Chain A
């Protein structure tokens, strides 16, 4: 029994790690530029498929992760410059536009890679189990994903809270015009943050594809979870993305285990209650 609980806990943590990678980009993009990019799910999917292709060609998992991330950086750059800028900050239009982009990307992926679920091959060094204290056997890959998630979270947090660069980003989140007036090249800053967000989304597709598999409609499944993360944590907050991912990852894992029929309710019910008490999310500020 305690073994099962430990396993579900670890499953929840590894899902949380993956969700954090996706949601932190989404939340930063929104916090800084007020851009709602629903195509993040599609970025995850296409990054995963492209990374998978690179892993198959080169045999290197790490190369696949980097390739998945970089290809999405390129896609996002094009999408942002040609399309998203033309919505002029209207959230309704941004949502419709980026959903349209999701349709295009997801269907293109379906035409190329087909409808059967595909799994990104896990690297040799991540195969097999790890033995954790208490004789808990856990898949090495998912364990490493937890470690990676924690590392990226710590790195992002330090970057955001402790470095001059992070201070500028925070200033941009607070007051864009004022930051610009102080001589900060805000366009360059946006481009950098967008690139980081896109890289994380694409890379998370490869990382997630290695244990959740890639399949048609995965773009929506993962997007919904990421959205619940940012709703609970608060839009635009990196700490919120951490708390939200932990919450969603653990609830989803334990929910599927204890009450599979009601897993949806267990996830969305607490979100509704939180909404009643704190409409802006745990770490968010009222907009």
Chain B
């Protein structure tokens, strides 16, 4: 209950951002929400299942590209969005065979799978526009009703990300979520208890791909432009960093992590050349000094434990 109030308070605070009247901050906050949701999808796998996927950027990208292609091709939003999420889920089902492995193997295999998406995005020019990407993606509209400017779009994103966070909290506290924790901590024992652990990990993987897909849909609509940069390996990698940096295992953590990383990408990058060095140092610093993340540092926000 306390956590719900906290989330509501954060949502309310964020709702004031458009009142500042500065499109830069509105845009940046939307990016944080979108990439925070992507980081949630990674955090789910890390924290609840104990696997570190490096392919969620591919789910993100395939959904973003699907929305971009269908919307610019004249499809209505009500058809484009489900198609995009379905595309991400299908990719998740295909890549899901990687849950047959674990540990390092899982990390490397998902990384290689994710890279496949990028190679398609850059080489299948007829479909994806190659390096030029797809431009002029309109705002979403259902039956002619939809956001018409940046601040209205902001509220759409805020509402949808909020909704996904609630769904996420529901999943990890469900019986299914609990069995995932059991598999993470003692897989052999769960097998002995009669659970089909691989199937459950597979389902979790597909759920993760759906969350990443929703983030990708929102990315396409807010950015109004999709290029291979969205499919870059770095998207997957930085989403993982956001999850760890924020404090893996909390609903709020991935968004905190997204705030730091998007801040570096959008603010620091304009000030100093060579800002990726700073990004690299953040990676290193997190591993050395903050393996429990920012939330673990303050310890004030309760862990999202089932």
Residues of A with Cβ closer than 8 Å to B?
30, 34, 36, 83, 86-87, 90-93, 95-97, 99-104, 106-108, 110-111, 220, 224, 227-228, 230-231, 235, 260-261, 263-265, 267-268, 271-272, 275-276, 279-280, 287
Contact = CB atoms under 8 A, between A and B. Distances in A.
A34 B241 CA distance: 22
Given A96-B283, A99-B283, A275-B101, A264 B109 contact: no
A275 B104 contact: no
B191 interface: no
B123 A260 contact: yes
Interface in B218-242: 233, 237, 240-241
Interface stretch (B150-158, B205-213, B274-282): B274-282
Contacts of B109: 231, 271, 275
B112 A227 contact: yes
A258 to B, nearest CB: 13
A17 B288 CA distance: 36
Interface stretch (B1-9, B113-121, B136-144, B168-176): B113-121
Contacts of A276: 97, 100
Interface in B283-303: 283-284, 286-288, 291
Given A97-B287, A111-B273, A275-B98, A91 B244 contact: no
Nearest to B240: A96
Given A99-B237, A227-B112, A228-B112, A86 B288 contact: yes
A83 B103 CA distance: 21
Given A93-B287, A231-B105, 14 more contacts: A36-B104, A36-B107, A86-B287, A90-B291, A92-B107, A97-B283, A97-B284, A100-B280, A103-B277, A104-B276, A108-B277, A224-B115, A263-B119, A265-B116
Contacts of A87: 287
A109 to B, nearest CB: 11
**For the complex, would chain B's binding face be called helix, strand, loop or mixed by DSSP majority?**
helix
A107 B112 contact: no
B274 A272 contact: no
Contacts of B276: 103-104, 106-107
Contact of B280 (A91, A101, A224): A101
A93 B100 CA distance: 22
Interface string B120-137: 100110000000000000
Nearest to A227: B108
Nearest to A88: B291
Given A264-B116, A276-B97, A279-B101, A103 B287 contact: no
B46 interface: yes
A96 B286 contact: yes
11 contacts: A103-B283, A104-B277, A107-B276, A220-B233, A260-B123, A263-B119, A264-B118, A264-B120, A264-B123, A279-B101, A280-B101
B123 A92 contact: no
B60 interface: no
